[in-house]
Amino acid sequence: MNILGRTALLGLGAGLMLGLGAAAVSHDAAAQGWEPKKPVEFIIMAGIGGGADKMARLMQTIIAKNKLSSKPFTPINKPGGSGAESLVYLKEKTGDNHVIMVTLNSFYTTPLRQPDLGIDIMTFTPIGRMAEDTFLLWVHADSTIMNVNDFVKAVKAKGSDWVMAGTGKGQEDQLLTSFLNSGYGLDMKYVPYKGGGRVAKELAGKNADSTVNNPSEQLGFWEAGKTRPLAAFTAQRLEVFKDVPTFRELGKDYVYYMQRSVVGAPGMSKEAEAFYRGVFARVYATDEWQAYMAKKSLLGGFLTGAALKRYWTGERAVHETILRDIGEIK
């Protein structure tokens, strides 16, 4: 009966599509053409409580609240090896229509740094880029450093005793630190911590001299007057930090974002791909998601399909260059 009902619905959907014309096609196909038959595994490339994890759980909540899927999305954290574990898992699930994953920039860097894994990210199914996270340079509010000039002077005076706290080695924070070290002729010491929240705390607790946190990680301390942003690694000034210049304004072309994208297992069926695209396009359009993006200074429009793959190609090339420059790969 269930199958009969679904077939009838499919027929109805097809009829409607023909009648309503091309504009409505993609949306209706997504809503009615294919639906998950069991709970969807929503793999997270990072650990519980991190930025990617919070975002995945927000998406899960939005999907459930707005009834965007008849079956639940179940978040599963597979943070091992900077995302290597989840990339390998997704590859093993080739052809599976019920496994999707939320990614970070380790989506590019981990396969580059560990070619043995045999991961080609272009084989993954592009579902949707939900946002691009931004980065700023932060110091403690008690310091006398008010701008990047002061910062460069202070770091030079302290030499290699200047402590820049960041996330794990080879991850986003270290790439940005290497920009600063080479661009301004600095020799900051990089100390890796587990997770951006911990990094933010080390600065607020004066155990580090500077960080390159995402706004979402420093927001609480910044609002309480404990930390100070000096400049943003963005193309334009951020809405929340209107008085903070970009590095581009200061003459250094440091523009760097962290993608927050959803990808599917390789070889997913066209119908399933269309379903997930529909779901995440609607998640992107919800008030909850838009409010979250504004609050956390997230940028970037919704990208999917070939456009998303083009974006990956560009970003992967950028990361390959950076990793080579800092000697992480040959």
Residues found near other proteins in the complex (CB under 8 A): 48-50, 53-54, 57-58, 60-61, 64-65, 72, 75-76, 78-82, 84-85, 88-89, 113-114, 163, 167-171, 189, 191-194, 197-198, 200-202, 204-207, 219-221, 223-224, 226, 288, 291-292, 328
CA distance linking residue 194 with residue 197, whole number of Å: 8
> Closest Cα partner for 107 from 123, 83, 76?
83
Q: Token pair for residue 95?
A: 């052809």
- Nearest to other proteins of 284, 292 (CB atom): 292
Minimum Å gap between C-beta 283 and other proteins is 13
Minimum Å gap between C-beta 147 and other proteins is 25
> Closest Cα partner for 260 from 219, 297, 223, 206?
297
- Nearest to other proteins of 15, 118 (CB atom): 118
Q: CB-based contacts of 202: which residues, under 8 Å, 6+ apart?
A: 165, 193, 208, 211
- Nearest to other proteins of 149, 207 (CB atom): 207
Minimum Å gap between C-beta 9 and other proteins is 26
Minimum Å gap between C-beta 253 and other proteins is 26
For 118: left if phi > 0, alpha if psi spans -120 to 50, otherwise beta; the answer is: left
CA distance linking residue 320 with residue 330, whole number of Å: 10
Treating both helix axes as pointing N-terminal to C-terminal, what angle do 106-113 and 305-325 enclose, rounded to 10 degrees? 50
- Nearest to other proteins of 79, 300 (CB atom): 79
Task: Tell me the β-bridge partners of 44.
Answer: 77, 102
CA distance linking residue 70 with residue 73, whole number of Å: 10
- Nearest to other proteins of 93, 126 (CB atom): 93
- Nearest to other proteins of 67, 242 (CB atom): 67
Minimum Å gap between C-beta 226 and other proteins is 7
Minimum Å gap between C-beta 26 and other proteins is 27
Radius of gyration of the chain (CA): 22
C-alpha to C-alpha distances, 330 to 183, 214, 221, 256, 323, nearest whole angstrom:
21, 29, 39, 22, 8
Q: In this structure, which amino acid lies at residue 41?
A: E
- Nearest to other proteins of 19, 225 (CB atom): 225
- Nearest to other proteins of 17, 45 (CB atom): 45
Minimum Å gap between C-beta 160 and other proteins is 8
Q: Is 225 exposed, middle or buried (0-12, 13-18, 19+ CB in 10 A)?
A: exposed
Minimum Å gap between C-beta 50 and other proteins is 8
